[in-house]
Amino acid sequence: MNMFEKMLSWMPALLRATGVTISLTALSVSCGLILSLFLALGKISKSKVVQKLCGAYIYFFRGTPLLMQLFFIYYALPQLHSALTISSRFTAAWIAYSLNSAAYLAEIIRAAIQSIDKGQLEASRALGMSYGKAMRLVIIPQSIRRLIPPIGNEFIMIIKDTSLVSSIALVDLMKKTSQIQSSTASPLVYLPSMAIYLTITAVLTWVFNCLEKKFSIYE
């Protein structure tokens, strides 16, 4: 088989593994976004206790390696109590990546919210809006455009960081690439794998650029 035929024969297996990579990224960042909104609002809350708790969460997950967090959730939690055992490698990775992503996204959201002029919130409150309603209808819509580029970067970072899940034997794109390389003794498999990563990154970049243009109306 020539080089092209070899690469073509590897594509079905690589594409199936790519599905795991994309699913893990989408689920992790989606769940991370939901959690990060509460963390960001907690970080700028008037309650010192809430501020400290959210700050401690963000500090912990930003200050420790993602790989170590993954190992702790999959290997160490069962040692603390059998009820904490997570048998599914995908679920363990999903939890680890969601918790980690939430910490980074929380800082992104907090910075975007605080970049909006304080007079906007004061004017909203003067019109009789509650704090929650003012945030939902006035502040957050204006911060969306500023959020899109860094959130897009987070998606791309998670896509690449999913390669770490091969360390717990979850068969993602990186793990499948390593398996094919080991079984065929051909490092050429890294070429189509890198092409797949680049394609995913290019598509995500295009999508977030379109979203940024769409929400530019709030600027």
What pLDDT sits at residue 1?
A: 57
Contact 7, 181 (CB under 8 A): no
Q: 155 pLDDT exceeds 70?
A: yes
Q: By C-alpha distance, which of 202, 171, 156, 204 is closest to 19?
A: 171
177/121 Cα distance (integer angstroms): 51
DSSP 170: -
What pLDDT sits at residue 173?
A: 94
Percent above pLDDT 70 for the chain? 98
Domains of the chain: 3-218 (1.10.3720.10)
Contact 97, 24 (CB under 8 A): yes
Lowest mean pLDDT among 18-27, 54-63, 205-214: 205-214
What pLDDT sits at residue 125?
A: 78
Over the stretch 35-62, which tens digit does the pLDDT of each residue have? Answer: 999 999 899 888 999 999 999 999 999 9
Q: How confident is the model at residue 217 (pLDDT cuts 50, 70, 90)?
A: low
Q: 98 pLDDT exceeds 70?
A: yes
Q: By C-alpha distance, which of 177, 175, 57 is closest to 105?
A: 57
Contact 177, 11 (CB under 8 A): no
pTM of the model: 0.88
Residue type, 48: K
Over the stretch 178-195, which tens digit does the pLDDT of each residue have? Answer: 999 999 888 899 999 999
